[in-house]
Amino acid sequence: MTRQHNRLSGRTRLLMAAAAAPLLLSSCGVVAELPTTSMPSSFSAATSPESRPMAVSAPAEATASKVVMPVYWLGLNGSDVQLYREFLPSQNTGDPIGEAVMAMTTDTPRDDDYFTPWAPASKVSASISSKNIITVDITSDAFKPSLDAGMAHRAVQQLVYTATAAAANAGLTTAGYNTSVVVLVDGKAGYNAFGHEDLEPALERDKTLPAPIWIISPQEKDGTETSVTFMGTAVVREDQLAWSVERVLNGRPETTPVQSGEIKLEAEAGETAMFEVPIELEPGDYNLRVFHGDGDNQDSKRFTVY
């Protein structure tokens, strides 16, 4: 994610508020209750080859632990809004897909740079067929926010990614079938989400939307021992993938890193690869950044060493 050293949680607020589309005011000066949350650039803008998205397959998202669930959020990355994933504690409600989608609408991301454009849903339930067709039934109150076409598409894909990842994580998918999502709203098909997205057909993942760099571990606000191995995935680009760790003092990362380096990815240009970097740190608060070249694509996490 594109971020400066002082963190960009404010950019999320800017996107959700100041980037709102202009409103038509009535003669009595009443402002619309729900200003439109808009994309920072044209929805029709094509993804450039230099910033290709990450390849994320739903079956690969299963974890060894069932006490956590995958939830997708949106995050500002340069002039685009892209998908990022976190793992949140699971209450093991017996409906792992519905629980994850509900969390997507009601919970707060651990990382302040992420956000959700959804309103809290009153109820979410889900089921999955033997051919990996997931049916999510969500209440219409979740669609209350006013979004432009680009943000509406990303919000719906946020649900699709969350539902398919949750199904894989719970071991509910069947090998040999693509996973798709049918979205019912108040039990009915054919809803037009946020006034822009037709939910009538079964939906699949839009592979252009994941951000090109994810830090998977540590997660935001994690605590760790002095021997730290940070892990993640990134798209291979001509620009070198690099990392830096800065101390956080008085709530702000210092400008000079305590450690930094480059990461060699074992993949061809345009492909996605995993990375692991072991480091030793003294106790304290730190900010980890992983970025391409001059930082056009970047993700960062704050964590504490005990």
Query: Is residue 154 classed as helix, strand or coil in its secondary structure?
Result: helix
* Pairing state between β 222-224 and 298-305: parallel
Contacts of range 147-150, beta carbons closer than 8 Å, 24 or more positions apart: 147/36, 147/37, 147/38, 147/117, 147/194, 147/195, 147/196, 148/21, 148/36, 148/37, 148/38, 148/39, 148/43, 148/196, 149/43, 149/196, 150/38, 150/39, 150/42, 150/43, 150/81
Would you say residue 283 lies in a domain?
yes
Tell me, yes or no, whether 32 lies in a domain: no
- Count each helix (H run) and each strand (E run) in the chain, helices first: 3, 17
Shared-domain flag, residues 177 and 218: no
Mind listing the pLDDT tens digit of every residue in the chain (306 residues)? 444 434 345 445 444 443 333 333 333 333 335 577 888 854 444 344 344 667 786 656 766 566 899 999 999 987 899 999 999 999 999 999 999 999 999 999 999 999 999 999 999 999 999 999 999 999 999 999 999 999 999 999 999 999 999 999 999 999 999 999 999 999 999 999 999 999 998 999 999 999 999 999 999 999 999 999 999 999 999 889 999 999 999 999 999 999 999 999 989 989 999 999 999 999 999 999 999 987 778 899 999 999
**Same domain? 268 vs 235:** yes
Per residue, the 3-state secondary structure of 52-66, as one string, reads CCCCCCHHHHCCCCC
The reply to whether 260 and 151 lie within a common domain is no
Q: Which of 198, 222, 249 is the last residue of a domain?
A: 198
Expressed as residue numbers, the domain containing 185 is 51-198
The answer to whether residue 10 sits within a structural domain is no
Considering 174, 198, 222, which residue would you say is the last residue of a domain? Answer: 198
Q: What is the CATH number of the domain that holds 253?
A: 2.60.40.650
173, 198, 223 - which closes a domain: 198
Q: Taking the model in full, what pTM does it have?
A: 0.84
Do 95 and 57 have their domain in common? yes
Q: Within this chain, do residues 96 and 221 fall inside the same structural domain, yes or no?
A: no
Do the beta carbons of residue 115 and residue 5 sit within 8 Å? no
Looking at the structure, tell me whether residues 80 and 153 fall in a common domain. yes
In a domain, 301, yes or no: yes
3-state secondary structure of 284: strand
Asked whether residue 165 falls in the same domain as residue 230, the answer is no
* Rg of the Cα atoms in the chain: 20
Q: For the chain, what is the domain count? A: 2
CB environment 84-94: b (16+ within 10 A), e (fewer): bbbbbebeeee
Pairing of β 192-193 and β 197-198: antiparallel
285-295: pLDDT as tens digits: 999 999 998 77
Cα 281 from chain centroid (whole Å) = 28
In a domain, 136, yes or no: yes
* Cα(199)–Cα(50) distance, integer angstroms: 31
Q: Which amino acid is at 21?
A: A
Residue 223 belongs to a domain: yes
- Same domain for 187 and 251? no
pLDDT at 261: 97
Structural domain includes residue 140? yes
Same domain membership, residue 58 and residue 172: yes
- For residue 210, give the DSSP letter: B
Residue 18 lies in a domain: no
